[in-house]
Amino acid sequence: TFEWNFGDGSPLSTDINPTHLYAAAGTYTITLRAFDPLTCNLTDDTSYAITLFAAPVASFSFTPVPPIENTANIFTNSSSPDANRFLWDFGDGDTLITSSRAQVEHQYNETWTFTACLKAFNAAGCEDDTCQQVATIVNPRLDVPNAFTPLGPLQASKVFVRGYAINRIRFTIYNRQGQKLFETTDKNEGWDGRYKGVLQPMDVYAYTLEVQFTDNTSTTKKGDITLIR
């Protein structure tokens, strides 16, 4: 027969392979004593110390509440101090893995109520998660800059389609001769002023833009972009 002492003051167990749930983190000494009734109850025992780590507590808040049209949400991580790694899931397919507790900004792309979750991990690999409902108001907006500088500061070195609630695009740029220099269906891809790797001259370039928004409305826009060198 067997006698298990789990080191936390709980009742002894005589199961061969017991399970035990500790109520608190800490270091516990587990002792197993074996009895052999065929040898006048000859006994033998062995002990083993284990350390249980407390799970972190995941917690966050966000603004703005209530939602403001076309305004990014700011998420503030208020998890317990022992948490050192975090997984943000914004509920729209975007995630972020980070070890930083800095505030996180996230721009949703449609009007909806999303379930945003934060999972926190500590050094021992223990984890906890929490979720909140985040309401958003995102209405279609569209903008294309009328000038850019390929050799200028990074933020102005490409021309992008900007806006809110953009689902799909087709953005095409032509020179004065009607030659297509650039085309993309990726709203995160901008034109760097080059064609086949060659920087184009300072001039005015025409563009056409087809956009479908997340509310299933669509629009077409034409205009000019000045390349400044």
The CATH number of residue 124's host domain is: 2.60.40.10
Q: State the pLDDT at residue 36.
A: 85
> Where is the domain boundary, 90, 116, 136?
136
> Tell me, what amino acid is at 204?
V
State the DSSP code for 187.
T
Residue 41: pLDDT band by 50, 70, 90 thresholds? low
Query: Which domain does 146 fall in, by range?
Result: 141-227
42 CB contacts (<8 Å, ≥6 apart)? Answer: 35, 36
What is the domain count for the chain? 3
Torsion from C-alpha of 216, 64, 154, 109, nearest 10 degrees: -10
How many Å from the N-terminal Cα to the C-terminal Cα in the chain?
Answer: 88
Identify which has the larger pLDDT, 43 or 119. Answer: 119
CATH code at position 195: 2.60.40
The pTM (predicted TM-score) of the whole model is 0.80
Distance (Å, whole) CA 147 – CA 158: 10
> Tell me, what amino acid is at 157?
S
> Where is the domain boundary, 136, 170, 204?
136
Distance (Å, whole) CA 9 – CA 45: 18
> Where is the domain boundary, 106, 136, 166?
136
Same domain for 145 and 118: no
**What average pLDDT does the structure give for the chain?**
96
Render pLDDT for 124-147 as a digit per residue (tens, 0 to 9): 999 999 999 999 999 999 999 999
Mean pLDDT calculated for residue range 157-167: 96
Same domain for 40 and 94: no
